[in-house]
């Protein structure tokens, strides 16, 4: 995935390259808008990239993990199970990313450190841990509800 120049202006910055972030990039392109997606992981997939523990799988039927706007792919893709595994969902995600050529505008291994809105210029200033300092009219956070691990605070967990 490509790395932009250190200082650039986009119409939209998207934070996160899971299902929502990838769909946002696709829609923004359809609208003719320039966009950049920043993803902390080394690849796309969001929750399905990060949750790679043995036995990880979906708890809803596989058809819920199909992009309905891609009718040809819906007809072509055959899920092997009713509740697919993490690896099968990642395979689907990567096929979508490649088919829509989304990788060009996704920068992995990059965390957004800060986003500040400047009312005078009506632009967001976004900085990353890779030294990017970019500006955008819009910032969309697509980090999802499962983006930060939290260990429960339980008595005895250290010795468990």
The predicted model scores a pTM of 0.85
How many Å apart are CA 45 and CA 31, to the nearest integer?
A: 23
pLDDT tens sequence across 114-156: 999 999 999 999 999 999 999 999 999 999 876 566 677 888 8
How many Å apart are CA 58 and CA 85, to the nearest integer?
A: 6
Q: What is the 3-state secondary structure (H, E, C) of 68-103?
A: CCCHHHHHHCCCCCCCCEHHHHHHHHHHHHHHCCCH
Name the band, by pLDDT with cuts 50, 70 and 90, for residue 5.
very low
Name the band, by pLDDT with cuts 50, 70 and 90, for residue 74.
confident
The pLDDT of residue 73 is: 83
CA angle 88, 94, 98 (to 5 degrees): 150
The pLDDT of residue 6 is: 57
How would you class 105 by CB atoms within 10 Å of its CB: exposed for 0-12, middle for 13-18, buried for 19 or more? buried
pLDDT tens sequence across 15-34: 999 999 999 999 999 999 99
The pair of three-digit structure tokens given for residue 148, joined into one six-digit string: 């930060």
List the beta strands (DSSP E) in 16-150.
Answer: 35-38, 106-107, 112-118, 123-128, 133-141
DSSP character for 130? T
Q: Which residues have C-beta within 8 Å of that of residue 20, sequence separation ≥ 6?
A: 46, 142, 144
CATH 3.50.50.60 fits 9-145, yes or no: yes
What are the structural domain ranges in the chain?
9-145
How many Å apart are CA 146 and CA 20, to the nearest integer?
A: 13
């Amino acid at each position: 995935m490509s790395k932009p120049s250190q200082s650039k202006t986009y119409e939209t910055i998207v934070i996160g390259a899971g299902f929502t972030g990838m769909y946002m990039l696709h829609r923004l392109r359809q609208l003719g808008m320039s966009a950049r997606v920043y993803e902390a992981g080394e690849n796309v997939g969001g929750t399905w990239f990060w949750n790679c523990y043995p036995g990880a799988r979906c708890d809803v039927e596989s058809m819920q993990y199909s992009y309905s706007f891609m009718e040809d792919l819906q007809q072509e893709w055959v899920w092997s199970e009713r509740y697919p595994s993490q690896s099968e969902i990642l395979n689907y995600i990567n096929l979508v990313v490649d088919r829509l050529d989304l990788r060009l505008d996704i920068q992995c291994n990059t965390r957004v450190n800060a986003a500040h809105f400047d009312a005078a210029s009506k632009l967001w200033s976004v900085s990353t841990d890779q030294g990017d300092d970019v500006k955008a009219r819009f910032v969309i956070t697509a980090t999802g509800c499962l983006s930060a691990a939290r260990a429960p605070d339980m008595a005895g967990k250290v010795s468990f």
